[in-house]
Structure 1
Amino acid sequence: MKYLSEFRNPEIVEQYIAELHKITTKPWTIMEVCGGQTHSLVKNGILNILPKQITMVHGPGCPVCVTPLTLIDKALYLAEEKNVILCSYGDMIRVPGSKRSLLEAKANGADIRIMYSPLEAVKIAQENPTREVVFFAVGFETTAPANALSVIHAQRLGLKNYSILASHVLVPPAMEAVINDKEAKIEAFLAAGHVCTIMGMSEYEPIVEKYKIPMVVTGFEPVDLLQGILMTVRQLENGEAKLENQYSRVVKPEGNPEAQKVIAKVFRTDDREWRGIGTIPQSGWEVNEEMAAFDANKKFSVNIQKVPECADCIAGQVLKGIKKPFECSQFGKACTPLNPLGAPMVSSEGACAAYYHYSEAMEEALV
């Protein structure tokens, strides 16, 4: 990518839109998996200029949004009851747990610090040898290498006071879960470009083959998204089901082998609970036995009782592409960024937050 402006070029956007209007003859429902793609679609007004036959629905690709209540309660327990220095990416701070958010706990005196990198948390552990430091390791495959690297770095430094509370989820199993949901009606996918940058594309080929569903690995800028949608609609209109790569300037078929090695050194695949969706088999990464000393769950014997989700929040239906945010009766009313009922309203990749801040649907929902 030479210049970012190349991928926001209005002339290219107009060309893609014109081509989409020309070739679209049937109604199609396409899911963009990544929350970053959702925000770009809404913020840039792309949903408003697509042919009316094309419906974009928003998938479970927001790691903060799918982090279950139980895990946030675990983080709160560590910060408040175990008096650890809890480090976290900023997105997690305002997400509601069963009783309060990490931000509220911080305001009440818990030592909770916002980090841009887990390596900052390792440095804090070095500087505070008498305190336990826990990094809340949330994310999809994209953030896993950095989180894993922090464990490797802490091990090399001989740190005994550093651990991570892992909440890593994986995209391919989530896609299959959405396809197999009886309420969801997804006919094609835009796959998350940054995830494929790490993991490559081979994991998606079995899904395309098994379900005969088109899939295009796509970037995040307006031109990226429109080209990805155009490539997808061409497949749909031609009755094809292939795995294609729109984001070839960044994504290679093999991904990043070195990053994959780092991940494999620290994590193992396991079942994972997804907020609003439920448990998806083999859909997450946990700290493996070799690195068990750096697993906060084991280190502190964390055992938090599972609590039900907010009954008024339809986050699960939004994350599975069954409903749009403005179809929630609480959207923009009882649920706002200042008083969220669920994570999609406060995460920077949450669909509800995107609609609240950028979409005309916000005004329509409040009429």
Structure 2
Amino acid sequence: MKYIEEFNDPELAKRLLEDIHATATRPWTMMEVCGGQTHSIIRHGIDQLLPGHIELIHGPGCPVCVTPLEMIDKALEIASRPGVVFCSFGDMLRVPGTDRDLFRIKSAGGDVRVVYSPLDALEIAQRHPDREVVFFGVGFETTAPANAMTVHEARRRGIRNYSMLISHVRVPPAIEAIMRAPHCRVQAFLAAGHVCSVMGTAEYPALADRFGVPIVVTGFEPLDILEGVRRTVRQLESGEHRVENAYPRAVREEGNPAARRMLEEVFEVTDRAWRGIGVIPASGWRLSKAFREYDAEHRFEVGGITTRESGVCRSGEVLQGLIRPNECEAFGTTCTPRNPLGATMVSSEGACAAYHLYRRLGGPARGTEPVREATSVG
């Protein structure tokens, strides 16, 4: 597939930046919803190349980071039980629960395995019918179809020793919660292209109208993000608030109909708790009644979990866009990727991880570079 070098072209980046600088006459604050976009922004220094009066706020777009502590502790409880093979993507293994993580469960003798697809976990269940195999299904709309399909496939094959611990969340309700927050400063959103590639854009126009905010769907390469910012600034300057698709090579208005049908068959919408934010109505999915037998929460009856958040970690404020990672007193000192206090430091899409990886350890984080330095993008 193309679109790697083409979307890192420094000359095109410079032209986009010049357009943004020429267009932006007032202070504007926009939020990128996706953690992958946050990493791209920090890695390429995009926020430092924008006009000083344009602020990018990092949103709660890291699915690992917003998984509530109670769900992490439920995963740890299930994974520690005899006869269980607990499967997960790798970035969940170091996410801290109340007093341990999945790596500690594994080191204590638990059968915790990293997989690259939920279908890998299903294959393990088929090979080991004497074991209970559980997959930790975490993510936004992007990963939900594959997880739904795996449960559907488990039923088709008659595999009964497979279940999923589900913590799926949905982006549009989160945008609404952000806009309704009392201290919200967000005036526009850069929407996640991969989410919209599945779900389409139909849910966003109502949000744009209700809150008077532009919503521009964009991708993850430097030029994708700059084009998203450019379109957003043009709308803000002209007083518009509509949905634009700046990622047409991957996103269609209707999304992926087959994936959406699978989601509708296997899942049902539910209220969901977001770590650091709280419960957002209708912001998640759970297995529907027809597939409830594959729900690990019901199968293992993990209730009565008592959680305890770190008194030092401020990841909840980071997830709400209230502070930047390097404004937390623990950042880079008592909280590091080797010793994370919160998921935002250990996840591959976490804002704290991005700031630590790309050495945003302190000092001015934005608006310090002139437009002539745009050639650093790429």
Same fold, judged at TM 0.5 (above): yes
Letter in 2 for 1:98: T
> Post-superposition shift, 1:13?
0.3
Aligned residues: 365
Give the corresponding residue for 1:133: 133
TM-score, with structure 1 as normaliser: 0.97
Letter in 2 for 1:86: F
Give the corresponding residue for 2:276: 276
Give the corresponding residue for 2:76: 76
> Post-superposition shift, 1:361?
3.8
Give the corresponding residue for 2:56: 56
CA distance in 1, matches of 2:233, 2:93: 38
Deviations 1:285-322 (A, max 9, x none): 01110001111111111114242321211112111111
- Structure 1 stretches of 4+ with a deviation exceeding 3 A read 359-365
> Post-superposition shift, 1:45?
1.0
Q: Secondary structure at the match of 1:76?
A: helix
CA distance in 1, matches of 2:179, 2:82: 41
**1:27 maps onto 2:50 in alignment:** no
CA distance in 2, matches of 1:265, 1:271: 18
Letter in 1 for 2:327: E
Contact 2:88/2:113 (<8 A) preserved: yes
> Post-superposition shift, 1:247?
0.4
Q: Secondary structure at the match of 2:280?
A: strand
Larger mean Cα displacement after TM superposition, 216-225 or 297-306: 297-306
Give the corresponding residue for 2:241: 241
Contact 2:73/2:307 (<8 A) preserved: no
Give the corresponding residue for 1:187: 187
Contact 2:16/2:227 (<8 A) preserved: yes
Letter in 2 for 1:225: I
Q: Secondary structure at the match of 1:38?
A: helix
Q: RCO (CA 8 Å, sep 6+): is it higher in 1 or 2? A: 2
CA distance in 2, matches of 1:26, 1:363: 24
Q: How big is the alpha-carbon RMSD for the aligned residues of Structure 1 and Structure 2?
A: 1.2
**1:97 maps onto 2:109 in alignment:** no
Letter in 1 for 2:202: S
> Post-superposition shift, 1:48?
1.1
Give the corresponding residue for 1:307: 307
Letter in 2 for 1:135: F
Give unmatched runs, 5+ long, in structure 2: 366-378
Give the corresponding residue for 1:230: 230
Letter in 1 for 2:12: I
Letter in 1 for 2:72: I
Q: Secondary structure at the match of 2:248?
A: coil
TM-score, with structure 2 as normaliser: 0.94
Give the corresponding residue for 1:198: 198
CA distance in 2, matches of 1:94, 1:193: 27
Give the corresponding residue for 1:349: 349
CA distance in 2, matches of 1:184, 1:322: 9
CA distance in 2, matches of 1:118, 1:152: 12
CA distance in 2, matches of 1:53, 1:217: 22
Contact 1:184/1:320 (<8 A) preserved: no
**1:251 maps onto 2:240 in alignment:** no
**1:65 maps onto 2:65 in alignment:** yes
> Post-superposition shift, 1:363?
7.0
Letter in 2 for 1:337: P
Q: Secondary structure at the match of 1:244?
A: strand
Letter in 2 for 1:331: F
Contact 1:42/1:359 (<8 A) preserved: no
Letter in 1 for 2:277: I
Larger mean Cα displacement after TM superposition, 227-236 or 83-92: 83-92
Give unmatched runs, 5+ long, in structure 1: none
Letter in 2 for 1:210: R
Deviations 1:22-54 (A, max 9, x none): 111111111000000000000011111111011
Give the corresponding residue for 1:328: 328
> Post-superposition shift, 1:58?
0.4
Contact 2:276/2:320 (<8 A) preserved: no
CA distance in 2, matches of 1:221, 1:304: 44
Give the corresponding residue for 1:46: 46
- Aligned sequence identity (%): 54
CA distance in 1, matches of 2:154, 2:199: 24
Contact 1:164/1:295 (<8 A) preserved: yes
Deviations 1:119-161 (A, max 9, x none): 0000000000000000000000000010011101111110110
Larger mean Cα displacement after TM superposition, 81-90 or 121-130: 81-90
CA distance in 2, matches of 1:218, 1:207: 17
Letter in 1 for 2:180: N
Give the corresponding residue for 2:172: 172
Contact 1:73/1:304 (<8 A) preserved: no
Give the corresponding residue for 1:14: 14
Contact 1:102/1:112 (<8 A) preserved: yes
